[in-house]
Structure 1
């Protein structure tokens, strides 16, 4: 082979490798007129927030419960593919003396709802594939969207959600409840107050043994979550782990994620489980012989400013629940699992010192609504704090804690990790959904910032608490 041909093949090989990665990032970016920046955007105040809840299976009924306790939030419509679920959710309202919402059911019921009912906020609790289409349709119908995680399963969906939010000037908040857990909010405030010095590295995870639930015939509707574990091979649920640490690192507000590498084990659990169940019940024969996603995914991320992040996903191994939530700075270190701790050197500080830090750095939101959040519930209260804060921001015309760029960039880890795994852990670039605005966007305000003065306080008696039980 002559030297010219060798040089040609070398260049062709380089061009081929570039062609694989670049279109993934740029093919769905939108050009043309100047884009509107939704970071820090304060929508007009809404005195009474009319809410429609779509999806009343696993998470939806709990959302109806929580929202019903927030003054200024009126649930005006309920929708699920199954009519019996809508009827059960209606009883959550009527048992508390609240008016019935308009009912919608069937495969296309949510589209009918958006055409017929005037709503200010669409609260989406459906299976993952519906998230982006429903959020986009809600914003185009003139409502803000609050969507369960992730906000999209593909880069195109993430870009389309961002584009629609900017064009309609409607909020699209991904309902990342872990950002409102007590230790996560505490450490975020510590970071903002300089306790950690400069953050260098952070870790998050979703390690949760869901093997039995994913194979439960009476669990996820039509076994949809198990099917997603067959379709995709990567970190399918990154946002619980990355959301809180991304806020600590000011991602999209002073820094941004630039690239990732994902490595994944083989599957040692799900295929075996399918075969084991099929031997006893022919229902599971459909799931035998499928190629399932690997058990443990470890994704490494680097930021523009040289910080690093690790995010793990494992929903099949028999191990204790953990989201890790680890922060490592130039002055201090914190971790949540297996036990909450803060360290300023080789050893964790003692309990009395830790309590003193808690007293000093507890954010205003927790002081204001934390105890009532624990009463109402929702993963220990973090769900209620998230819902209360969302409604409070909409009523007061305040920017949201999580904007559409957060939802898109955190969710993009799903398809990008799948791409990296498929390419033998090749480095994959992460899009800048902010269009460069991350350089000037400000970190979201941890104070109540004028909110909390609208009388939006839940009143939960012992009798009402007993009525919170969902059928």
Structure 2
């Protein structure tokens, strides 16, 4: 493109889109915001105010995302709206020749994922899922350790979205948040990519390995009902709602290389936040919950007194910090979510400006997003194994 900035249209200004605009996209200085869109006028106008304050010129404001995509001044579309619309908007933008940065979420059907891939293959329009956790400091350190062979042969990984969202979900009408309608109507691993993305990269999914099948099991749904009746009263409009989403959903994925992955969705019971990122290899392991590294021939003496080693990962970071994070710390960590939001957007913008491949490509995006639809199918069938499509159509063996 031979220029320093992209002309961006942003679609969606709930909590996530608002935070990204304020703390990441405007401060990064790699985008001129030409158009802002939200289905709620007050949100769109507030976003426009923020842009005008920083850029000195007010962007176009619209409630219709089609107008953003049709805007001739816009060359890049960032999608931060409700889950249901991500793929449809991305496909329309790609067909219009607009590069796409798409926020995380799961797919509603596998066919949506295939259509996303087909659209990319037909148009060659760049698309990147903006999975910030792929740029988490510890996730990248563990990946670097695995690449160096420190953990040996990786056999199993696990992760989860462990986040108490009872207030957000039950307050969906007040907050105008899409999670409420999803939790009322679907039972699935609805938010898989925070944990799966880093694991997939570590296991070289779509690059010499692939996910081949999964099974998903759901607990009953009790947490939201009790939260609502306890905090909001038995007369609340949701007090007698039948929530479809189980409190804990466990998904086990089998890979072509023989590795297994366990994902857990746990968002409607009281708990601390965790992504439970864990890597198990023949020479050692990393565990996010205790932020610790356990290495063969070094830590056996701590087998039954591991609490003494909790937090030791910081010591190992001196040797195994990922090169990207070494440089990032020298430059100064910036932005939200411990700096990983800044990195994912920097990498996205640079890939479009420099016309290089997106670090998280359409095949990664489809493979990670389809887990939601497939988990729903498996749960409905009593935990039956479900095959995971190969969106690369065999190219994973040589990519």
Please indicate, yes or no, whether the TM-score normalized by the shorter chain is above 0.5: yes
The alpha carbon displacement at 1:364 in A equals 3.1
Matched with 1:226 is 180
The alpha carbon displacement at 1:146 in A equals 1.1
The alpha carbon displacement at 1:395 in A equals 1.9
Instruction: Name which one, 1 or 2, has greater alpha-carbon Rg.
Output: 1
Deviations along 1:296-334, whole A, 9 cap, x unmatched? Answer: 011001101111110000111111111111001111200
* Aligned counterparts, 1:411-426, within 5 A: 411-426=369-384
The alpha carbon displacement at 1:190 in A equals 1.6
Which of 78, 84, 106 is the matching residue for 2:36? Answer: 78
User: Structure 1's 421 and 218: CA in aligned 2 closer, same or farther, altered over 3 A?
Assistant: closer
> Secondary structure, in 3 states, of the residue corresponding to 1:50?
strand
Which of 250, 253, 262 is the matching residue for 2:207? Answer: 253
Distance 2:383 2:325 in 1: 40
Structure 1 unmatched runs, 5+: 1-43, 442-471
Work out whether residues 131 and 151 of structure 1, in 8 Å CA contact, stay in contact via their aligned partners in 2: no
* Aligned counterparts, 1:84-103, within 5 A: 84-103=42-61
Matched with 1:130 is 85
* Runs of 4+, deviation exceeding 6 Å: none
Distance 2:273 2:312 in 1: 26
Matched with 1:328 is 280
290-299 or 87-96, larger mean C-alpha shift: 87-96
Which of 140, 147, 150 is the matching residue for 1:185? Answer: 140
Matched with 2:292 is 341
Work out whether residues 274 and 288 of structure 1, in 8 Å CA contact, stay in contact via their aligned partners in 2: no
In the superposition, the TM-score normalised over structure 1's length comes to 0.78
Distance 1:178 1:421 in 2: 26
The alpha carbon displacement at 1:100 in A equals 2.1
> Secondary structure, in 3 states, of the residue corresponding to 1:412?
helix
The alpha carbon displacement at 1:90 in A equals 2.0
* Aligned counterparts, 1:308-327, within 5 A: 308-327=260-279
359-368 or 131-140, larger mean C-alpha shift: 359-368
Deviations along 1:73-122, whole A, 9 cap, x unmatched? Answer: 221111111221122112222333543222112xxx11012112332221
Work out whether residues 370 and 381 of structure 1, in 8 Å CA contact, stay in contact via their aligned partners in 2: no
User: Structure 1's 373 and 427: CA in aligned 2 closer, same or farther, altered over 3 A?
Assistant: farther
Work out whether residues 292 and 311 of structure 2, in 8 Å CA contact, stay in contact via their aligned partners in 1: no
Work out whether residues 213 and 219 of structure 1, in 8 Å CA contact, stay in contact via their aligned partners in 2: no
Distance 1:253 1:46 in 2: 31
Name the Cα RMSD after superposition.
Answer: 2.2
Distance 2:72 2:234 in 1: 47
User: Structure 1's 308 and 128: CA in aligned 2 closer, same or farther, altered over 3 A?
Assistant: same
1:302 equivalent in alignment to 2:254: yes
Deviations along 1:402-440, whole A, 9 cap, x unmatched? Answer: 111111111111111111111111111000011111101
> Secondary structure, in 3 states, of the residue corresponding to 2:34?
strand
Matched with 1:117 is 72
Matched with 1:363 is 322
Q: How many residues get paired? A: 390
The alpha carbon displacement at 1:384 in A equals 1.1
Distance 2:253 2:10 in 1: 34
Work out whether residues 416 and 428 of structure 1, in 8 Å CA contact, stay in contact via their aligned partners in 2: yes
Distance 1:365 1:330 in 2: 26
Deviations along 1:202-250, whole A, 9 cap, x unmatched? Answer: 00100101011111156542x5211101221111111111111111100
Distance 2:189 2:27 in 1: 35
Which of 4, 12, 19 is the matching residue for 1:55? Answer: 12
Work out whether residues 46 and 394 of structure 1, in 8 Å CA contact, stay in contact via their aligned partners in 2: no
Distance 2:366 2:79 in 1: 16
Distance 1:276 1:291 in 2: 16
206-215 or 71-80, larger mean C-alpha shift: 71-80
> Secondary structure, in 3 states, of the residue corresponding to 1:434?
coil
Matched with 1:452 is none
* Aligned counterparts, 1:193-204, within 5 A: 193-204=148-159
146-155 or 260-269, larger mean C-alpha shift: 146-155
Matched with 1:141 is 96
